Amino acid sequence: MNPRATNRTMKPAHSLAALAAMALAACNPGAGDGQTTAASSASKPAQAPAARPPATVNGKPITLETVDFVSRTNFNKKYAELTPAQQNKLVEDLVRIWLLADDAIAKGKDKEPDVIQTIEFGRLNVLRSITINEYVKDKQPTEQELRAYYEQRIKEIPRTQYRVRVIAVATQPYAEDVVNELRRGGDFIAIARREASGQQAKQAAGDSGWMTLEGVVPALANAISSLKVGQYTTDPVQLPDGWGIIRLEETRTAEKPEFDRLREALTRELIGKKVDTLVEELKKTAKIERTTSG
């Protein structure tokens, strides 16, 4: 296909009909004279030409169905409703995707086991999403459900906030040396600033800002909760990327979060619970076999 064909102005309908008649005559050597052929063609309704794809890449078309799907997915509009500039940008983005995908295929990447599994898992995720969306579309949480769940979750959300300061070092032996330095009267903030990497970190001198213990690694959470304000850990604490000495600066009780600020998160959680119910129902009729290890 000529790539410039996508920019040509379509010919008027009567011209297309004439061209169709000429093509029919050329393909039918057994027909009578030109007058008979033209009359025969004129008696049949002219078929509309097939819509040309917006682009082709290595002989493979990027179809109108494809660009329309992408447009509806990304812009919530049909492809025909986009501006010419938006259409060109969308098609150019798809050409880019096609080129990169073709390059992977040419190198045989689509035959690699991990790639095959990734593609298959993506297919399953699409189907999973369809099931979930259809199941929950008439099961959106009511205001009463959200309010009741909000009161339940408020009781579970940690309200105590901590502000700590951390001297972070690479190894446990060096952390123990720092503890000994503190015992000899070393200044915690000065040492934290000394051991920090980067100007911004040195200015903060290990100050964590206000935090809750939700999501904090257990060793660090246990160390913080065991301290009183002003105390530091005399045993170094293992951090995700090294070792640390933690000092508790202050604590406070967080304000109760407003319902409206949590509405979206609560909605997602409740919908998740309803999906869990669906999964349990599906398990009852499914045949599931597991191979236990050991």
Q: Would the pLDDT of 227 be above 70? A: yes
Mean pLDDT of the 179-198 span: 93
- 30-39, 48-57, 116-125, 158-167: which has the minimum mean pLDDT? 30-39
| Residue that wins the pLDDT comparison between 265 and 41 | 265
Q: Would the pLDDT of 43 be above 60? A: no
pLDDT at 214: 83
Q: Would the pLDDT of 248 be above 90? A: yes
Q: Would the pLDDT of 26 be above 50? A: no
Contact of 181 with 190, CB cutoff 8 Å? no
Which pTM value belongs to this model?
A: 0.55
pLDDT band at 102 (very low <50, low <70, confident <90, very high): very high
Q: Is 189 within the bounds of a domain?
A: yes
Q: Is 19 within the bounds of a domain?
A: yes
**DSSP for residue 175:** H
Q: Would the pLDDT of 240 be above 50? A: yes
- Rounded-to-integer distance, Cα 167 and Cα 178, Å: 9
pLDDT at 16: 29
pLDDT at 156: 82
- Please state, rounded to an integer, the average pLDDT across all residues of the chain: 84
Q: Is 196 within the bounds of a domain?
A: yes
Mean pLDDT of the 6-23 span: 34
Q: Is 64 within the bounds of a domain?
A: no
Tally of domains within the chain:
2
Nearest to 55 by CA among 103, 106, 94, 81: 94
Q: Is 240 within the bounds of a domain?
A: yes
* CATH classification of the domain holding 248: 3.10.50.40
pLDDT band at 19 (very low <50, low <70, confident <90, very high): very low
Residues 6 or more apart in contact with residue 231 via CB below 8 angstroms? 247, 248
Q: Is 218 within the bounds of a domain?
A: yes
Domain that holds residue 231: 159-253
Q: Is 205 within the bounds of a domain?
A: yes
pLDDT at 173: 94
Helix 259-285 / helix 113-136 crossing angle, nearest 10 deg: 110
Is residue 67 within a helix (H) or strand (E), and if so which, with residue range? Answer: helix 64-75
Mean pLDDT of the 168-186 span: 94
Q: Is 232 within the bounds of a domain?
A: yes
Is residue 252 within a helix (H) or strand (E), and if so which, with residue range? Answer: strand 242-253
- 42-46, 96-100, 237-241, 279-283: which has the minimum mean pLDDT? 42-46
Mean pLDDT of the 224-238 span: 94
Residues 6 or more apart in contact with residue 16 via CB below 8 angstroms? 46, 49
pLDDT at 271: 95
Per-residue pLDDT of 118-141, as tens digits, reads 999 999 999 999 999 999 999 999
Nearest to 164 by CA among 207, 200, 201, 220: 207
| Residue that wins the pLDDT comparison between 70 and 12 | 70
- 29-38, 49-58, 184-193, 247-256: which has the minimum mean pLDDT? 29-38
